[in-house]
């Protein structure tokens, strides 16, 4: 490996270790809390499923790194294929569950007196389950369309190598557009949740000002913490999405590809760390663990 590949590799491995430690820590804390209380809250269920998908996403990125660096290895084709399958599944569930978490915060925290919003607020678990199943069905259809396109192009033009390569590029481009469409929807939904939370916070602050009360009440603090988590998720998601689109270009060489993999790995690692710091239970458990380690 050259110098750039070594630098990208060190960054990817550091993110891989930090991300897995953060995600496993969240799983352990929620599992211990579930055993003690003999129940688990809706938020903890969503976060636990989210970090499990993030572990899969990190492993998929490490497989992409392995298949890029060790190209002379005879098993790199199988590893790349396994990495792409793992990435496709974990990427979908990571983005989907991140969006569902954004909707959960909105329905739980925002204060609107719209009849539809109040109905969704009362049926929050059913609403989120329907959205999850709907996105999963969309993901299955996406995989079906991608595979049908590839099989059709390869089988239809098997004899002409030049035309086959051209159609392969066209198929990759069409699949990229379809991938972009599927992934832009969760981003738009999360952005809408952020905007509605900002509007709800502004409305709440106006009411507090009208009644002559301060702005440091619990509802304001909950709004601000939720907004911090959601805005960080959006920024990391946007960065990750752009890196995935750029790294999907066939013209990129290995060092540049690894560089974009290293940037995109900030998404599953950084957001999990933000979730720990923004969640009171997880934050206290982390501080207690660090205190015990120090002692």
pTM, entire model: 0.85
Q: How far apart are CA 141 and CA 135, in angstroms?
A: 10
The rounded Cα 200 to chain-centroid distance in angstroms is 25
Question: Which pLDDT score, from 0 to 100, does residue 16 have?
Answer: 92
Question: Which pLDDT score, from 0 to 100, does residue 249 have?
Answer: 67
pLDDT tens profile 225-258: 888 889 999 999 999 988 888 876 655 677 788 8
Question: Which pLDDT score, from 0 to 100, does residue 48 have?
Answer: 93
By the 8 A CB rule, do 247 and 260 touch? yes
SS (H, E, C) 229-258: HHHHHHHHHHHHHHHHHHHCCCCCCHHHHH
pLDDT in tens, the chain (295 residues): 678 888 888 998 999 999 999 999 999 999 999 999 888 888 899 999 999 999 999 998 888 777 777 655 555 566 666 777 788 888 889 989 999 999 999 988 888 888 888 888 888 888 888 888 888 888 887 777 666 655 555 554 455 555 555 555 555 556 667 777 778 888 899 999 999 999 988 887 887 776 666 566 777 888 888 888 899 999 999 999 888 888 766 556 777 888 888 899 999 999 999 999 888 889 898 898 888 888 7
- HSE-CB at 216 with a 13 A cutoff on CA atoms is 0
Question: Which pLDDT score, from 0 to 100, does residue 270 have?
Answer: 92
Question: Which pLDDT score, from 0 to 100, does residue 157 have?
Answer: 47
Q: How far apart are CA 7 and CA 160, in angstroms?
A: 41
Question: Which pLDDT score, from 0 to 100, does residue 152 have?
Answer: 54
Question: Which pLDDT score, from 0 to 100, does residue 46 have?
Answer: 92
Residues recorded for the chain: 295
Question: Which pLDDT score, from 0 to 100, does residue 278 have?
Answer: 85
Torsion of CA 193, 194, 198, 203, to 10 degrees: 10
Q: How far apart are CA 12 and CA 267, in angstroms?
A: 12
């Amino acid at each position: 490996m050259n110098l750039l590949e070594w630098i990208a590799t060190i960054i990817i491995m550091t993110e891989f270790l930090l991300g897995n430690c953060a995600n496993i820590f969240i799983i352990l804390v929620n599992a211990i809390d579930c055993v003690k209380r003999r129940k688990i809250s809706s938020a903890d269920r969503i976060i636990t499923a989210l970090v499990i998908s993030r572990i899969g996403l990190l492993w998929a990125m490490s497989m992409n790194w392995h298949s890029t660096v060790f190209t002379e290895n005879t098993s790199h084709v199988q590893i790349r294929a396994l990495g792409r399958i793992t990435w496709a599944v974990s990427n979908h569930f990571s983005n989907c569950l991140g969006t569902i978490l954004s909707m959960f915060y909105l329905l739980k925290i925002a204060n609107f007196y719209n009849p539809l919003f109040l109905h969704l607020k009362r049926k929050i678990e059913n609403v989120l389950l329907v959205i999850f199943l709907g996105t999963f069905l969309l993901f299955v259809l996406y995989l079906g369309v991608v595979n049908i396109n590839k099989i059709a192009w390869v089988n239809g033009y098997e004899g002409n190598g030049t035309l086959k390569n051209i159609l392969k590029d066209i198929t990759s481009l069409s699949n990229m557009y379809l991938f972009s469409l599927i992934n832009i929807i969760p981003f738009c939904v999360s952005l809408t949740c952020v905007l509605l939370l900002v509007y709800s916070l502004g409305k709440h602050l106006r009411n507090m000002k009208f009644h002559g009360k301060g702005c440091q009440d619990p509802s304001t603090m909950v709004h601000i913490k939720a907004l911090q988590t959601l805005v960080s998720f959006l920024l990391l998601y946007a960065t990750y999405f752009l890196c995935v689109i750029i790294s999907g270009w066939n013209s990129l060489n290995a060092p540049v590809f690894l560089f974009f993999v290293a940037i995109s790995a900030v998404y599953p690692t950084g957001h999990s760390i933000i979730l720990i710091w923004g969640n009171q239970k997880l934050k206290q458990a982390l501080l207690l663990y660090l205190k015990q380690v120090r002692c």
